Amino acid sequence: MPWERTIVYEMHVKGFTQLHPLVPEADRGTFSGLAHSEIPGYLRSLGITSAELLPIHAFVDDSYLVDKGLRNYWGYNSMAFFAPEPRYLKTPFANEFKEMVNQFHAHGIEVILDVVYNHTAEGNELGPTLSFKGIDNASYYRLLPDQKRYYINDTGTGNTVNLSHPRVLQLAADSLRYWATEMRVDGFRFDLATILAREPYGFDEGGGFLDACRQDPVLSSVKLIAEPWDIGPGGYQVGQFPPGWAEWNDKFRDTVRAFWKGDDGTLADLAKRVSGSGDLFNKRGRRPWASVNFVTAHDGFNLNDLVSYNEKHNEANGEDNRDGHSNNHSWNCGAEGPTDDPEIMGLRERQKRNLLATMVLSHGTPMLLAGDEFGHTQKGNNNAYAQDNETTWLDWMGITANGRNLREFARKLIATRKAFPILYRSRFLVGSHNEELDVKDVTWLSPSGEEMTDEQWQDGNAKCFGMLLDGRAQETGIKRRGSDATMLLVYNAHHDIVNFTLPGVADGLSWLGLIDTNRPDARMAEFEFGHAYEVTGRSLLVFGLANDNVATRRLRQGLGALLDIADTPLSR
Q: How far apart are CA 372 and CA 296, in angstroms?
A: 8
* CB 132, CB 126: distance < 8 Å: no
Question: How do strand 110-115 and strand 187-190 relate by DSSP bridges?
Answer: parallel
Q: How far apart are CA 164 and CA 141, in angstroms?
A: 10
Buried b (16+ CB within 10 A) or exposed e, 476-508: eeeebbeebbbbbbbbbbbeeebebbbbebeee
* CB 101, CB 56: distance < 8 Å: no
Q: How far apart are CA 61 and CA 386, in angstroms?
A: 9
Q: How far apart are CA 446 and CA 83, in angstroms?
A: 55
Single out the catalytic residue among 52, 227, 247, 470. Answer: 227
Residues paired with 115 in a beta bridge:
190
Residues paired with 527 in a beta bridge:
511
Supply the DSSP symbol for 516. E
**Residue 345 contacts by C-beta under 8 Å, 6 or more apart in sequence?**
339, 402
* Annotation says 227 is catalytic: yes
3-state SS assignment for residue 229: coil
Listed in sequence order, the DSSP H helices in 38-94 are 38-46, 63-67
Please give the single-letter amino acid code of residue 152: I
Please give the single-letter amino acid code of residue 404: R
* CB 266, CB 457: distance < 8 Å: no
Nearest to 293 by CA among 345, 368, 242: 368
* CB 380, CB 312: distance < 8 Å: yes
Q: How far apart are CA 568 and CA 303, in angstroms?
A: 25
**Kind and range of the H or E run holding 245:** strand 245-249
Single out the catalytic residue among 110, 191, 230, 349. Answer: 191
Q: How far apart are CA 65 and CA 72, in angstroms?
A: 7
* Annotation says 154 is catalytic: no
Cα 376 to Cα 199, 306, 411, distances in angstroms: 41, 11, 16
Q: How far apart are CA 276 and CA 272, in angstroms?
A: 7
Q: How far apart are CA 482 and CA 470, in angstroms?
A: 11
Question: How do strand 8-11 and strand 464-469 relate by DSSP bridges?
Answer: unpaired
3-state SS assignment for residue 270: helix
**Kind and range of the H or E run holding 457:** helix 454-457
Cα 144 to Cα 124, 193, 552, distances in angstroms: 12, 21, 64
Question: How do strand 525-528 and strand 510-516 relate by DSSP bridges?
Answer: antiparallel
* CB 45, CB 373: distance < 8 Å: no
Q: Please give the positions annotated as active site.
A: 191, 227
